[in-house]
């Protein structure tokens, strides 16, 4: 078993295993767009901040957006469901332009100030589902010339 999966709380291990192909670290690089995807295991807020800091070390002008994957729990049956991060559930309405250190700091501040659980709550299919855990983050990065 992957060392990352070994750190997942027991109640979530099965849903992580079933969806590991989506949750695991992956990077897709294209000519215009790159997609960075990372699991969040123990401290999502700290992990997100570190990952975003690393991504923003790119010296070029870029646009970036963020999406999260999470586990929902059905209120009466306790069933767990994985909600995939996607183009349709991005944190910002449009990707953020990052040209300089001020833009980088503003993006970091905005991502930190967003209530990720509230974001996830607004994505759920109905009020019968509650957000149990934020489990992955996706960064869509657009290269600009």
pLDDT digits (tens, 9 = 90+) for 83-137: 999 888 899 999 999 999 899 989 988 887 777 888 888 888 888 999 998 889 9
Q: Measure the CA dihedral 67/116/128/90, to 10°.
A: -20
Q: Name the band, by pLDDT with cuts 50, 70 and 90, for residue 1.
A: very low
78 alpha carbon, distance to own chain's centre: 23
Which residue, chain included where needed, has tokens 């970091």?
108
User: How far lies 58's CA from each of 28, 40, 46, 61, in Å?
Assistant: 16, 22, 20, 8
Length of the chain: 145
Per-residue pLDDT tens over the stretch 9-19: 888 889 999 99
CA dist 89 and 66 (Å) reads 9
The whole-number pLDDT of residue 3 equals 59
């Amino acid at each position: 078993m992957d060392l990352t999966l070994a750190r997942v709380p027991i109640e979530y291990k099965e849903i992580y295993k079933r969806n590991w192909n989506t949750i695991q670290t992956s990077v897709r690089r294209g000519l215009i767009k790159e997609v960075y995807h990372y699991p969040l295991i123990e401290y999502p807020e700290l992990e997100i901040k570190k990952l975003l800091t690393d991504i923003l070390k790119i010296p070029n002008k870029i646009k970036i957006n963020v999406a999260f994957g999470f586990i929902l729990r059905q209120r009466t049956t306790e069933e767990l469901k994985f909600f995939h991060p996607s183009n349709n559930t991005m944190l910002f309405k449009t990707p953020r332009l990052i040209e300089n250190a001020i833009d980088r700091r503003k993006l970091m501040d905005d991502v930190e100030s967003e209530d990720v659980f509230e974001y996830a709550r607004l994505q759920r299919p109905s009020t019968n589902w509650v957000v149990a855990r934020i489990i992955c983050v996706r960064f869509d990065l657009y290269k600009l010339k």
